[in-house]
Amino acid sequence: MNYKLEPIAPKTYVGNLIFLLGDEVAERALPLSKKEVDLLKERRAAKLDCIVRFDRLPYYIYVVSFNSEKPASECHEQLRRSAADLLSLLKADKIAMAGITGEGIIPEEMMAFVEGLTLADYTFDRYKTADEYHLGSATIDDRFFSADEFESNQRLWNRIMWCREWVNTPVQDLNAARFADELASIAADLGVSCTVFDKRQIESLRMGGLLAVNRGSVDEPRFVALEYKPAEPVNDKPLVLVGKGIMYDTGGLNIKPDDYMQEMKSDMAGAATMASVLFAAADNALPVHVVALLPMTDNRPGANAYAADDILTMYDGTTVEVVNTDAEGRLILADAIAYAAKNYNPGLIVDAATLTGAAVRAISTFGIAAMQQNAAGPYNLLSIVGEQVYERLVQFPFWSEYDELIKSEVADVKNCGTAQAGTITAGKFLARFAKDVPYIHLDIAGVAYFSKKQHYYAVGASGYGIRLLYAFMQTYDILNK
């Protein structure tokens, strides 16, 4: 979608008009007859959050009414969702261009609406032969924000779109090697440092988890290290982001039953998310030193696939008993987390992974299952930011008793516990590789990929978590003062 900022006078505007209505006084600014205003009042009395469409052939006026008295985060989220609802109307009316203005609203409300409109307008149509509907262009009233402010948000939204494209692309066209090549190309364009480790180099690093998961695949693994370091970062120690990059997950020899293998191209959403967050920081020159470590492979049952009962030696020397080859994500993440702790002296490690079905069963698709170790302050800030951008966290306990569930009789630890507390024990497994470094674990299994459309998230990859971590980095100086 193409945007431009220009003055808009609602009563003289020629074209399709989208009008955000925050209070009754603003009704005076609308180019409506008394009868139409009465209808609008009637609709708003029945439901304040609503969309009312007025026919001005060959144009239309769409009044987006919302409750500006709600808490800010809820109000902004409602505006994003209303934008998605409006897009359905625009599609039905075959609208290609529109102007967007409003009265009784503040810039943050307008930005939330445009954000929702942008995110809702995405479709994954790379493989379709027929054209999909998109709102071609929109003119936004320039009273609400400057061009620089708007363009910085556009760059962030662009990174969300890139993430969605990567996650939606099937492994036939995006395996570990190709993904690494794409990341290296983008990093070069942005001036971001990028190191790509191939299989031979991963073997020299002795990353036993990543190498084991890769053994059943004909495609080589990759380990990608991205680093963005501005001239004067607010943090003395880097923020390290670790993302799970299972390009496709069959479950390995513990092969997934029934239709659980469907949509497993999305198992690399953690890596796509963390790469996108770092690129967004570089795009907008955030003053935060950030590193992204991305272990990548697919998990297949072929060739010399690793098996239950195997004992692996990880990057940091920890031995791991494999009890389930479908608990593979934590194995590749563990190597990357241990690598971060040893080589970067991080101030904080945050991982993101589509890790456990237990997370979805616990909290459904309404947020991220989160845990922290030695990171109460950063976690609290991340949680507050999550409420603001409406990518929310649910903190799970990290009591020491959960360590008992992953104790092994034949190795230092086993890669999977019992059916109980599966999300927590997965996080516990990973936390031991962070050592004493402050660590936050984000299980995004319920929100990274949607089988059904959810508001401004289309079917497929969502990019959920990028706005959360980007906003966290925008406030990161609070932790470093």
Q: Does 277 share its domain with 426?
A: yes
- Same domain for 219 and 264? yes
Q: Quick one: pLDDT at residue 142?
A: 96
Domain of 360 in residue numbering reads as: 170-480
Q: Of 43, 91, 178, 256, which residue is the catalytic one?
A: 256
Residue 162, in any domain of the structure: no
Query: Which pLDDT score, from 0 to 100, does residue 179 have?
Result: 98
The active-site residue out of 81, 330, 428, 432 is 330
Domain co-membership, 124 together with 175: no
Domain boundary among 110, 129, 145: 145
Q: What is the pLDDT of residue 474?
A: 96
Does 190 lie in the same domain as 91? Answer: no
Number of domains observed in the structure of the chain: 2
The whole-number pLDDT of residue 372 equals 98
Residues with Cβ within 8 Å of 17's Cβ and at least 6 positions away in sequence, in order, are: 8, 10, 31, 59, 60, 61, 62, 98, 99, 101
> Looking at the domain assignment, is residue 260 inside a domain?
yes
Residue 125 and residue 174 in one domain: no
Residue 8 lies in a domain: yes
Q: Do 139 and 205 share a domain, yes or no?
A: no
What averages of pLDDT result for each successive group of 10 residues across the chain (481 residues)? 94 95 81 91 94 94 94 97 97 96 94 98 94 94 95 98 98 98 98 98 98 98 98 97 98 90 95 98 98 98 95 98 98 98 98 96 96 98 97 97 97 93 97 98 97 92 98 92 71
Q: Residue 375 in contact with residue 400, Cβ under 8 Å?
A: no
The whole-number pLDDT of residue 246 equals 98
- Annotated catalytic residue 11: no
CATH of the domain at 357: 3.40.630.10
Given this model, what pLDDT does residue 295 score? 98
330 is an active site residue: yes
Considering the domain architecture, whether residues 327 and 388 belong to the same structural domain is answered as yes
462 within some domain: yes
Which is nearest to 370 in space by CA: 326, 387, 78, 253? 387
Residue 65's CB is within 10 A of a number of other CB atoms, namely 24
Asked whether the whole model's pTM tops 0.85, one would answer: yes
Residue 200: per-residue pLDDT: 98
In a domain, 27, yes or no: yes
Residue 161 resides in a domain: no
Considering the domain architecture, whether residues 98 and 235 belong to the same structural domain is answered as: no
